[in-house]
Amino acid sequence: MFNKILDKTVYFSFDSSGFKRHQKSYSEINPNIFDNKTILITGGTSGIGEALALKLTKSNAKVIVTGRNKNKFLESTLSDKGVEFSSLDMCDLDGIKLLASNLGSIDHLVCNAGGMPENLKIHYNSFDTIFCSQVIGHYKLVQALAEQKKLNGACVHFNSSGGMYPVKLDLSDLKWENKRYDKVASYANAKRAQVILTEELPTIFKEVTFTCSHPGWVRTKAVEESIPGFFKFTENRLRSPDQGADTIYWCLSQGEKLENGSFYFDRTKKDPYPFFWTKETDDARSQLIKMLNSEY
């Protein structure tokens, strides 16, 4: 009962105390489960992606991380642990296709890259950086790998966010022509789109298991630099990157046992639509899929 009340507060659920409380019911994960598995993590050079990469190397996985800035990788401890790096901007759709052609088969793909850039930049005359990198870019990566039969039997996981909970998918003005650019609103919209992708993609890529999750509120550079007010307010309560990576690690370990298309928080399946007004129409879903399959 007390747990339920604390979860309802959100604050004491998404924070590190929430993680510690939920962790009490966790079972141990067999570390050998990732032996000889190849795992690709987009945006794995810092924060949650880096922590996940480190966890996976301890489990003998072969880990490849991507990012735009190679220095982040070099400054991390990842290269000492045998992690490979591939330079990739998730807004560079040709670069995504090239990377997919250069890679071999992937056992798990974690679509983690993301941020909240301060300045508006429009890509392919269609999207801002947030939507292009987190939604379009990740879809194109999945598509390119799947078309080359490199995701057969694989799990794909989207690192979404609880920031999408109060938001309904809005595809009406992805170039911010009719309103002032709002990075937080764009981020929430892209994270909502990732949840929808997780539900829709199993029907397109039948050989892949898709899941997504909210990592909680995690102490990372992205949070400190992009939302400093929030960082200051929650600073002492934020989760560590390792705690933030836990549910992704768990989802990968469960693989096909999980319900295809589902959303998780702290190793528990959650309804991604706690507010009925955030449910998009079937037309909006179709519009999103059409957008993803267009050429840019």
Ligand X SMILES: NC(=O)c1ccc[n+]([C@@H]2O[C@H](COP(=O)([O-])OP(=O)(O)OC[C@H]3O[C@@H](n4cnc5c(N)ncnc54)[C@H](OP(=O)(O)O)[C@@H]3O)[C@@H](O)[C@H]2O)c1
Percent helix, strand, coil in the chain, to 5, is 50, 15, 35
Minimum CB–partner distance for residue 292 and ligand X (Å): 17
Stretch that binds ligand X, among 4-12, 107-115, 147-155, 277-285 (CB under 6 A): 107-115
CB atoms within 10 A of CB 127: 25
Minimum CB–partner distance for residue 88 and ligand X (Å): 6
CB atoms within 10 A of CB 117: 15
Minimum CB–partner distance for residue 126 and ligand X (Å): 15
Nearer to ligand X, 7 or 287 (CB): 7
Q: Does 47 bind ligand X (CB under 6 A)?
A: yes
Nearer to ligand X, 90 or 288 (CB): 90
d(CA 22, CA 240): 15
d(CA 70, CA 47): 15
Question: 180: which 2 tokens?
Answer: 């002032």
At residue 123, the 3 state secondary structure works out as: strand
At residue 59, the 3 state secondary structure works out as: coil
Question: 173: which 2 tokens?
Answer: 């003005």
Nearer to ligand X, 230 or 273 (CB): 230
CB atoms within 10 A of CB 180: 7
Q: Does 95 bind ligand X (CB under 6 A)?
A: no
Sequence-distant (≥ 6) Cβ neighbours of residue 268 within 8 angstroms: 22
Sequence-distant (≥ 6) Cβ neighbours of residue 148 within 8 angstroms: 100, 101
Stretch that binds ligand X, among 46-54, 167-175, 263-271, 279-287 (CB under 6 A): 46-54
Minimum CB–partner distance for residue 113 and ligand X (Å): 4
Which residue in 18, 43, 95, 272 binds ligand X (CB under 6 A)?
Answer: 43
Question: 50: which 2 tokens?
Answer: 């880096």
Backbone phi and psi for residue 293, each to the nearest 5 degrees, phi listed first: -90, 0
Which residue in 59, 209, 220, 247 binds ligand X (CB under 6 A)?
Answer: 220
Residue that has been written with the tokens 């990198």 in this structure: 133
**Number of residues forming the site for ligand X (CB under 6 A):** 31
Site string for ligand X, 65-94 (x = CB under 6 A): --xxx--x---------------xxxx---
Minimum CB–partner distance for residue 283 and ligand X (Å): 27
Minimum CB–partner distance for residue 212 and ligand X (Å): 10
Site string for ligand X, 139-168 (x = CB under 6 A): --------------------x-x-------
Q: Which residues would be at the binding site for ligand X (CB under 6 A)?
A: 43-49, 67-69, 72, 88-91, 112-115, 129, 133, 159, 161, 214-215, 217-218, 220-223
